[in-house]
Chains A and B, each alone.
Chain A
Amino acid sequence: EVQLVESGGGLVQPGGSLTLSCAASGFSLSPYNINWVRQTPGRGLEWVSYISRTSITYYADSVKGRFTISRDNAKNSLFLQMNSLRVEDTAVYYCVRGRDDYSPDAFDIWGQGTMVTVSS
């Protein structure tokens, strides 16, 4: 089965750091562009970051300079390093696959999501 599985979420204090991981199974990550999208009840779905198959990266203005996306094709995995976390970063974070080789793109495979809570 083609799937993405996120891990690494949890509770962290404001100003703290957290690294999310995303493991692909049932397909090879290397030919695909991958994104992180987050969701909150108040702000809905929000695109966070993108990494191309050639490791070109983009970030939403709200996380630029604080979050870093990376990939390890040998491990079939993707990462999101989150620093200087704020209360407003609290959300469910989804790892999502770009459907075609467009930038940006529609998202055809979504992970189950991992919850990040930033609170003192």
Chain B
Amino acid sequence: DIQMTQSPSTLSASVGDRVTITCRASQSINSWLAWYQQEPGKAPKLLIYKASSLEIGVPLRFSGSGSGTEFTLTISSLQPDDVATYYCQQYNSYSPAFGQGTKVEIK
């Protein structure tokens, strides 16, 4: 099975900062990667699919890039509403697997 590793596990930044989260796959997944945002007590929400496609309704400050085994999620200007845990997910093959999550906090 393909393993997904995110870094960092926790990130603390100021409002307005540019924030980057990295996700690495144990083998190539082409561009079959999604990013999700999970606010406390809520279900995950799809932000990005196919590594760089923005889901409808997601703010433009979110962007994704990468292919193969290394991917990034960038928040161009961190907002208070962005406090959440972020997960990557590969869907190149079964079993679809998630990263362990990156918790984003406001400094």
B43 contacts A47, CB within 8 Å? no
Q: What mask results when residues 63 to 107 of chain B are scored 1 for a CB within 8 Å of chain A, else 0? A: 000000000000000000000000101011111111111000000
8 Å CB interface, B30-60 against A: 32, 34, 36, 43-46, 49-50, 55
For A113, list chain B residues within 8 Å (CB): 43
B87 contacts A102, CB within 8 Å? no
CB distance from A51 to the nearest CB of B (A): 13
For B101, list chain A residues within 8 Å (CB): 44-45
Main secondary structure of the interface of B (DSSP, over half): loop
A106 contacts B89, CB within 8 Å? yes
For A102, list chain B residues within 8 Å (CB): 32, 91
Answer whether residue A72 sits at the interface, using C-beta atoms and an 8 A cutoff.
no
B-side interface size class: 20 to 34
Answer whether residue A105 sits at the interface, using C-beta atoms and an 8 A cutoff.
yes
In the complex, residue of chain A having the shortest beta-carbon distance to the beta carbon of B99: A44
Q: What mask results when residues 50 to 73 of chain A are scored 1 for a CB within 8 Å of chain B, else 0? A: 100000001011000000000000
Listed in ascending order, the chain B residues whose CB lies under 8 Å from chain A are 32, 34, 36, 43-46, 49-50, 55, 87, 89, 91-101
Listed in ascending order, the chain A residues whose CB lies under 8 Å from chain B are 35, 44-47, 50, 58, 60-61, 94, 99, 102, 104-108, 110-113
28 pairs across A/B with beta carbons < 8 Å? A44-B98, A44-B99, A44-B101, A45-B89, A45-B101, A47-B96, A50-B94, A58-B94, A60-B95, A61-B95, A94-B43, A94-B44, A99-B49, A102-B32, A102-B91, A104-B91, A104-B92, A104-B95, A104-B96, A106-B46, A106-B50, A106-B91, A107-B34, A107-B36, A107-B44, A110-B43, A110-B44, A112-B43
